[in-house]
Structure formats: C-alpha cells, structure tokens
A = this chain, B = another copy of it.
Amino acid sequence: MSIDPLDLEAQICFPLHAASRAVTQAYGELLSESGLTYPQYLVMLVLWQAEQPLTVGELGERLRSDSGTLTPVLKRLEGSGRVARRRSTEDERKVLVSATPEGLRLREELKPVPQKLASLTGLGPDELEQLKGLLGRIMESIDLRS
C-alpha cells in the first residue's frame, strides 16, 4: 500500500503554498499597526538597506518581481508617504525610488518584527537555517531551468 502521489500532502505544492500564506498572514498581523502590507514591507526592507535610491528594475531584481506587480505597490507606498518616486534626470526611462523620512522612521518601529515572527514559527535558529537552505536550493534549481 503505497502513498498516492496525487495526495494533497504528498506533493510539495500544498504545504509550501499553505505555509507561505500562513506566514504572510502572520506578518500581516504584526504589520497591521504600521499600515504596511506584507509585500510593501518587503519593498521597505530593500530600501532600508540601499544606500541610494533604487530603480524599479533594481527593486524587482532583488524581490524577483516585475513592474506589473511593483508599480501599484510603489504607488500605494507613495500615497501613504513612505516612499518617493522621481524620474532619473540622466535616463528618463528610469524611476528612482527611495524611502522618505517617514519611511525610515518605520524601520525603527518595525525592528522587533523579525524576532517576533521567528518565534511564531516555532522553529529554532538551526531549523530556520535549514529551511532557508532548502528553499534556496529550490529557487536555484528552478532558475536554472530557464
């Protein structure tokens, strides 16, 4: 009696999908007070680390996301005053995105988020590293295919 390979749990798809949604939701609760959504938080993480304004393309590269997804997210962040967008003067195709002072202030406010979430997962540091390693290998393997 072998396991049905079409079983919902037998494939990697469902656990990965469900866990991702659950974690997104958990972040959402931690972020709700700041008014950020989870994908908006990811954008801010990148901007907080950047020394200079980034183009939409550079943001997309780091977040593995394209302009069709990023543009509306950036517009909402601009609307809530967390981000500034301006056309590059030297190449007017490019749009430079940077955190506003209000956006930078959020960085302090949200400092405890990573630790809170790590504890919510119920996994230890070693296990989190192991998980990140496995996910990273999947990303690599799928990327190679193209």
Contacts and interface: CB of A to CB of B under 8 A. Distances in A.
A52 interface: no
A135 B13 CA distance: 11
Contacts of A134: 123, 127, 130-131, 134
Nearest to A130: B134
A64 B18 contact: yes
A64 to B, nearest CB: 5
A87 to B, nearest CB: 26
12 contacts: A5-B115, A11-B118, A12-B131, A13-B23, A13-B24, A13-B42, A15-B132, A17-B42, A18-B63, A19-B138, A22-B139, A122-B140
Given A10-B114, A13-B23, A121-B141, 14 more contacts: A6-B49, A6-B114, A7-B45, A8-B62, A11-B118, A12-B118, A14-B42, A14-B45, A15-B136, A18-B135, A18-B139, A23-B142, A120-B142, A131-B131
